[in-house]
Amino acid sequence: MKALVELYMQQFKTTLASMFQYRASLLIWMIGQVLEPLVYLIVWSIVSNTSGGSVGDYTTREFAGYFIVLMLVNQFTYTWIMYEFEYRIREGILSFALLKPVNPIHSDIADNISSKLMTLPIMMLVAVGLAVAFQASISPVPWAIVLFIPVLLLAFVVRFLLEWTLALAAFWTTRVGAINQTYFVLMLFLSGQIAPLALLPSPVQILADILPFRWMIGFPVELLLGRLTIVEALTGLGAQVAWLLAGLVLLRIVWRSGIKIYSAVGA
Amino acid sequence: MNYLRLLVAFLRVSIIGEIAYRVNFIWQLFQSILSLIVSLGGLSVIFSYADTLGGWRPEEILALVGVYFLVGGMIRLIIQPGMEQLIESVRDGTLDFTLTKPEDAQVIISIGRVDIWRLIDIVLGLGVLAAALIGLGGKIGGWQAGMFILMLVAGAIIIYSFFLILATLSFWFVRVENILVVFHSMYEAGRWPVSLYPGWLRYALTFVVPVAFATTVPTEALTGRLAWETSLVAVVLAVVLLMLSRVFWKFGLRRYSGASA
């Protein structure tokens, strides 16, 4: 345990230094992260304004609140590991990571957290700016704010575990592009990125409850906006824990069988 | 005419090169269809709550999606691959070989690399556009069709010049690929009419990254909502940017000294 803490501290230092080097790339990533929810925010605001100031039980200003919180939750939980892993395996870089005595997932987690430490302050500023510009209405209830913290952390861990596991598909195929894109399309619809899930047809909502996507993004957003009852919130927390356990088991199985068939290129 | 022959030759080489990887066709088709699903799915959700979006009817937005795919396909088919190659070859010095060839280097760079599977996006875009036109019915006259094509050509020239200017920056800076990533994030916003966006974003999408001229303006021409001032601006901008990018390219080229030399 102590060794792991030391490893994280060291990894934080090195990645913070290298992230600082690539701050231009980080900024460019952020443009995409901001623009996508912003576009849906604008589109839904217009739909809401033309249909008398609300759609479903979202008013125009609540749409703004929804998509701004969504932007932050997405920023907090996203990973880029699926692009990275394919490259690691193709170029044989993974071999070096395997020589180290700890699972490479730890350095990836540390990487992810340090990049977010760099970008989160800027994203917060952007969020405040957008909230003012679009007169966003966010009115959370106290218990929901308290519960939001563990829910957001769980959302991050679940998303990280699942995307890391999915990235391991690169052990078996070189066509991860198609797999990633399928994943992102499902994510877009089922996590609430295209519209609040309550506005989607009910079969889609049922699917969203079963699959993990909602629990990684949409659920924390709805919780913070005060749209869930306490029972719904606790059920959601249960779903997150269930996906956390499933993710851990899946990761273990996939990692073990992947590593067996991995033979480094050039080795 | 000579350039056309060159283009055909380059196309043939890419096709011969790619035909060995026929499975790529299926994968590209799959990915393009997924991307189309995102667009159409989003539209169907939105239009289940509204009849029009900022004054645009569903068929008109559908036409915009078609143009979005068509132009996006053109960019990825020929404009972007050539510019990526330019950036690479400035960095590793292989631009030397291009410069020694008898034809104009800008032409060779621009048509020298083709990502033929992107033809799929163009075909899909045309399909969506055709479906939208059926929905729009007989409201499209010859004038509108002509203006549509003119605006499409102007948009393509503007985007091409924009890419060439960016890629020419690689004579001074090493990491310009990042700017191409910014372009694609911004291009996503072109799925919707730029008139929906607040002033600052509309301005950015028109004059900082010219997405509006690539998607919204041609669709406006098709649906007969194009102001003649806009069409004039598009044509003038296309001509000016094309000349400007040519001058800038020549200027950048003078700075190039070969990486190994």
B190-200 residue pLDDT tens: 999 999 999 99
ipTM of the complex: 0.89
- The whole-number average pLDDT for the span B157-167 is 94
Is the predicted pLDDT of residue B261 greater than 50, yes or no? no
Encoded tokens for B151: 């605006």
Q: What is the largest CA-CA distance in chain A?
A: 65
CA angle, corner A204, sides to A202 and A205, nearest 5? 60
- B172: number of Cβ within 10 Å: 10
User: Which pTM does this prediction carry?
Assistant: 0.90
pLDDT of residue A267: 46
Taking an 8 Å Cβ-Cβ cutoff, which residues of chain A contact chain B? 24-25, 28, 31-32, 35-36, 38-39, 42-44, 46-47, 50-51, 55-56, 133, 175, 177-178, 181-182, 185, 188-189, 194-195, 199-200
For residue B188, the chain A residue with the least C-alpha distance is: A36
For residue B200, the chain A residue with the least C-alpha distance is: A133
Most B CBs within 10 Å, among A28, A40, A59, A182, to test the B interface: A28
Distance CA(B68)–CA(B187), nearest Å, equals 9
Is the predicted pLDDT of residue B157 greater than 90, yes or no? yes
Q: Which of A36, A51, A178 sits opposite B31 (nearest CB)?
A: A178
CA A199 → CA A44, A49, A196, B44, B134, distances in Å? 11, 16, 6, 12, 29
Contact (CB, 8 A) for B109 and B160: no
Q: How many CA atoms lie within 13 A of A31 on its CB side?
A: 20
**What's the gap between Cα A229 and its chain centre?**
24
Distance CA(A48)–CA(A42), nearest Å, equals 10
CB contact under 8 A, B41 and A189: yes
CB contact under 8 A, A47 and B49: yes
pLDDT of residue A98: 82
Encoded tokens for B178: 């990042």
- The whole-number average pLDDT for the span B97-110 is 87
Establish if B54 touches chain A: CB-CB under 8 angstroms. Answer: yes
Residues 6+ apart with CB under 8 A from B228: none
Is the predicted pLDDT of residue B56 greater than 90, yes or no? yes
Establish if B92 touches chain A: CB-CB under 8 angstroms. Answer: no
Q: Which of B27, B45, B186 sits opposite A175 (nearest CB)?
A: B27
pLDDT of residue A265: 56
Residues 6+ apart with CB under 8 A from B236: none
Q: What is the mean pLDDT of chain A?
A: 89
C-alpha distance across the termini of chain A, in Å: 33
Which residue in the block uniquely carries the two structure tokens 């000579």?
B2
- The whole-number average pLDDT for the span B91-118 is 86
> What region, left, alpha or beta, does residue B137 occupy, with left being phi > 0 and alpha being psi -120 to 50 degrees?
left
Q: Which of B31, B178, B192 sits opposite A177 (nearest CB)?
A: B31
Distance CA(B126)–CA(B123), nearest Å, equals 5
Q: Which residues of chain A have pLDDT under 50?
A: 267
CA dihedral A224, A225, A227, A229 (to 10 degrees): 30
Distance CA(A111)–CA(A104), nearest Å, equals 11
Is the predicted pLDDT of residue B104 greater than 90, yes or no? no
- A139: number of Cβ within 10 Å: 8
pLDDT of residue B60: 94
Distance CA(A209)–CA(A219), nearest Å, equals 10
Contact (CB, 8 A) for A36 and A193: yes
CB contact under 8 A, A50 and B50: yes
Establish if B196 touches chain A: CB-CB under 8 angstroms. Answer: yes
Residues 6+ apart with CB under 8 A from A35: B185, B186, B188, B189
**Among A11, A10, A187, which residue's Cα sits nearest to residue A82?**
A187
Q: Which amino acid is at B206?
A: T
Q: Would you say the C-alpha torsion A52, A56, A57, A62 has a positive or negative sign?
A: negative
> What region, left, alpha or beta, does residue B236 occupy, with left being phi > 0 and alpha being psi -120 to 50 degrees?
alpha
CB contact under 8 A, A181 and B54: no
Say how many CB pairs under 8 Å bridge A and B. 78
Residues above pLDDT 70, as percent of chain B:
97
pLDDT of residue B173: 81
For residue B55, the chain A residue with the least C-alpha distance is: A50
CA dihedral A119, A136, A133, B203 (to 10 degrees): 80
**What's the gap between Cα A228 and its chain centre?**
20
CA dihedral B252, B253, B254, B260 (to 10 degrees): 110
Is the predicted pLDDT of residue B259 greater than 70, yes or no? no
Coil, strand, or helix at residue A137?
A: coil
pLDDT of residue B178: 76
H helices of chain B, in order, are 2-19, 23-47, 58-74, 80-92, 95-100, 105-111, 119-136, 142-168, 177-188, 199-203, 211-214, 216-222, 228-255
Establish if B17 touches chain A: CB-CB under 8 angstroms. Answer: no
Q: How many CA atoms lie within 13 A of B93 on its CB side?
A: 5
Coil, strand, or helix at residue A262?
A: coil
pLDDT of residue B138: 67
Encoded tokens for B65: 């999606």
Determine the distance in angstroms separating the CA of A237 from the nearest CA of chain B, rounded to an integer. 28
CB contact under 8 A, A178 and B27: yes
> What region, left, alpha or beta, does residue B54 occupy, with left being phi > 0 and alpha being psi -120 to 50 degrees?
left
Contact (CB, 8 A) for A193 and A69: no
What single-letter DSSP state applies at residue B56? B
Most B CBs within 10 Å, among A36, A44, A50, to test the B interface: A50
Distance CA(B134)–CA(B141), nearest Å, equals 13
For the stretch B6-48, pLDDT in tens is: 888 888 888 888 887 788 888 889 989 998 998 899 999 999 9
Chain B positions touching A42 (Cβ under 8 A) are 192, 196-198, 201
Chain B positions touching A180 (Cβ under 8 A) are none
